[in-house]
Amino acid sequence: MAPIPATMKAVQISKIGGPEVLEYTEIPVPAVGAGQVLVRNRFAGINYIDTYFRSGLYPAPSMPLVMGREASGEVVAAHASVSGLAPGTRVAYMAGAPSAAYAEFTAVDAAKVVAIPEQLSSEEAAAIFLQGLTAWTFIREAGEVKAGQWTLVHAAAGGVGTLLVQMLKSVGAKIIATASTDEKLALAKGYGADYLVNSNDDIVSKVKEITGGHGVDAIFDGVGKATFDADLQMIALKGHLISFGNASGAVPPVNILQLGPKNVKLMRPIVNGYVAERADLEKYTSELFDLVISKKVAVKIHNIYSLKDAAQAHIDLESRGTTGKLLLKIE
């Protein structure tokens, strides 16, 4: 194994702003603390949350902030307190801020690291890890989706969206997909969506027609501000409204009385909370990897960028022109 250098390439921000504030720079390789391993990253995932920290929608925990919340790679060193993760083990991880994955090396809590099974490449693991755990835990724990129920996925051709559609199919739900173009809707149909609604159309009336007036039992909404009011109109009696992102902006404060007429279960979950316990991380990761290995879920990669081109990846993601996952390759 190559010796660990003193410095490394990384992408960080020193101030909030547009994609231009992402700096490709040279910084020290982090030291591993108690309970941590050092991972040599191979692929880092681009996630919409990275744009929230960059833009200031979410406050940065510190500056400069190395971006990125997930990656795959291999363990190259471990603190003396860590056992069971030998150097060379291929791993994936997702961690809270600052987890600093847009970098050649990241020091990660061993409790957040999982080994990648041999049937999966490091590229595939990075492409499905954070977004796959999001989609799967939100279906299982937040939406409690059952076979035959009506479900709706906004931005169904996106990273989380393509995974939600395929996973909802695997549990036998009826799936309505929304997206902003016919090409994106066709992609969602290919992954198993039963009904397609262009988000520029009157979504509420189309959904009432599709569901015969029943409404949607579980709505998965990562779009946020632009779709929340429609969600309240489309949700079925006793439905689960899972609002989990801000692609169009943050949902304004909600009047709780709006939930009364249909006994709506409104949730605003964060994936990390469903895998905070090691047993849950192992259970859901193993189920996620099995879904991919058994080909129930296909990995859709939009593009793989060089680490130095992280700004272009942010531009592309925020342009609404991407489908599936964006990755950074770390040479």
| Class of residue 204 by CB neighbours under 10 A (exposed 0-12, middle 13-18, buried 19+) | middle
- According to the binding rule CB under 6 A, does residue 49 interact with ligand NDP? yes
Regarding 184 and contact with ligand NDP (CB under 6 A), the answer is yes
Binding segment (CB under 6 A) for ligand NDP, from list 57-65, 117-125, 241-249, 307-315: 241-249
Least Å from the CB of residue 119 to ligand NDP: 24
Q: Which stretch binds ligand NDP (CB under 6 A): 15-23, 44-52, 107-115, 254-262?
A: 44-52
The 14-43 site mask, x for binding ligand NDP (CB under 6 A), equals ------------------------------
Q: What is the contact mask toward ligand NDP in residues 119 to 138, using x (rule: CB under 6 A)?
A: ------------x--x----
Residue 223 in the binding site for ligand NDP (CB under 6 A): yes
Q: Does 68 help bind ligand NDP (rule: CB under 6 A)? A: no
Q: Which residues contact 200 (CB under 8 A, 6 or more apart)?
A: 180
Q: Is 246 in the site for ligand NDP (CB under 6 A)?
A: yes
Cβ nearer to ligand NDP, comparing 10 with 127? 127
Is 40 or 69 the residue whose CB approaches ligand NDP more closely? Answer: 69
d(Cα 299, Cα 312) in Å, to the nearest integer?
22
| Residue numbers at the binding site for ligand NDP (CB under 6 A) | 47-49, 131, 134, 155, 157-161, 179-180, 184, 199, 222-223, 226, 244-248, 269-271, 317-318, 320, 322
